[in-house]
Amino acid sequence: MSASSFNRLVRAAEHKRYRELLWDIAQEAKLFEFPEDQALDLTEDALRFFKGDFYLPFPVVAIDDEFSCVVLIDLEPNQIGCHQKRRFIEVCPLGQNVRRGRLFTGQLPPGRRRILEQMADVDTSAYPEDLCYIVGGHVWGVAPKEDVHEINGDVQWCIMLENGRYRDSFSDPMMQRLMRFSRDEYISNAWVAMKEVATFCSPDFFVLKESPQVRPKQRKGKLLRKHERDIYTLLRPREIRQRMGLPEPVSTDRKSPRPHERRRHIRVYKSERYKKMRGKKQIIPATWVGPSESVHKGKRYKVMLDM
């Protein structure tokens, strides 16, 4: 747990040098876990959402996966559209990824993969286990050309942890050069995180919130770690019930078949047969069968039917 990318952000936020920069963000962030084997191919609904109606489910969202954690932050209330400028922070444990051999996997975003590939011919023992970078900047989309979005952004600062000591671009010229050299890679990774958020709009999946059964109290000068927080995950109904320790619902009435479970989503009427509704959007409410909350194996679960 302590080795997660999000926990590295939390520890940096507790450091007196970076408290003003990171504390409020780490405190407010809602943690979304993106499984390592989760495909990033956007469905038609998710792609439409990403192009036109993209928004963050919370003002500060942390996307934590097996390789890094990217925090996306709205600059204004109720921001809509991937072209809107947003803040981002990426935390990447380089030493941990290199030592685990995560260099040439197709699951890695292009920017993150290029950074790690540069280390491929280097003795991995030269990279301490705690080697980690944290960068911050802005990302936004440019008007699409031929249905493809271009991206833009900036990187404003960089912090690196190595052998228990922090270095940063605020005072270290070498860190300033590294920040400028890797600018495009950092922005690319933030853009991938936005696409990961877009996958949460697929109506075939539901968002499951997992919480500690007993919520710990936050100690003075300390932030809650990942295992002490609410974690949001995208899963299919069968996978959700397995985690919640619930059986699959069974319909005993042939005249009333079990309804098709669908998550709350936006429907766009495109067919010509919709004379009055064509081109309009409508929010379709969620359909869920059986209990949507449970306590199982020390965790409290809730299916988020309003997301």
User: Is residue 11 predicted with pLDDT exceeding 80?
Assistant: yes
More confident residue, 270 or 302: 302
User: What range does the domain containing 259 cover?
Assistant: 210-303
Q: Which of 174, 204, 234 is the last residue of a domain?
A: 204
Q: What is the pLDDT of residues 93-131, one digit of tens each?
A: 876 655 444 443 444 455 555 554 554 444 445 567 778
Closest CA to 8 of 99, 179, 135, 180: 135
User: Is residue 273 predicted with pLDDT exceeding 70?
Assistant: yes
Is residue 250 exposed (0-12), middle (13-18) or buried (19+ Cβ within 10 Å)? exposed
Q: Which of 204, 236, 261 is the last residue of a domain?
A: 204
Structural domains in the chain (count): 2
**Main-chain phi, psi angles of 42, to 5 degrees:** -80, 135
Average pLDDT over residues 123-141: 79
Q: Name the pairing type of β-strands 86-92 and 165-168.
A: unpaired
The answer to whether the CB of 120 falls within 8 A of the CB of 129 is no
**Do 107 and 147 belong together in one domain?**
yes
Average pLDDT over residues 122-146: 73
Average pLDDT over residues 1-19: 87
**Do 99 and 234 belong together in one domain?**
no
**Do 229 and 152 belong together in one domain?**
no
CA distances from 284 to 203, 228, 268 (A): 10, 33, 10
**Do 146 and 270 belong together in one domain?**
no
The pLDDT value recorded for residue 156 is 94
The pLDDT value recorded for residue 180 is 81
More confident residue, 97 or 182: 182
**Do 153 and 233 belong together in one domain?**
no
**Do 155 and 10 belong together in one domain?**
yes
CA distances from 39 to 134, 219, 224, 258, 288 (A): 25, 38, 29, 28, 24
The answer to whether the CB of 44 falls within 8 A of the CB of 34 is no
Cα gap 70→93, rounded to integer Å: 12
Q: Where are the alpha helices (DSSP H) in 147-271?
A: 173-181, 183-198, 237-244
Q: What is the pLDDT of residues 44-53, one digit of tens each?
A: 666 666 777 7
Mean pLDDT of the chain: 80
- DSSP letter at 49? I
More confident residue, 167 or 281: 167
More confident residue, 189 or 276: 189
Q: Name the pairing type of β-strands 265-268 and 231-235.
A: unpaired
More confident residue, 88 or 43: 88
Query: Highest mean pLDDT: which of 102-116, 127-141, 250-264?
Result: 127-141
User: Is residue 15 predicted with pLDDT exceeding 80?
Assistant: yes
**Do 215 and 197 belong together in one domain?**
no
Cα gap 73→58, rounded to integer Å: 9
**Do 241 and 157 belong together in one domain?**
no
**Do 69 and 156 belong together in one domain?**
yes
* pTM greater than 0.75 (yes/no): yes
**Do 34 and 147 belong together in one domain?**
yes
CA distances from 43 to 40, 56, 150, 203, 236 (A): 9, 18, 19, 10, 15
Q: Which of 160, 189, 204 is the last residue of a domain?
A: 204
The answer to whether the CB of 60 falls within 8 A of the CB of 23 is no
**Do 161 and 81 belong together in one domain?**
yes
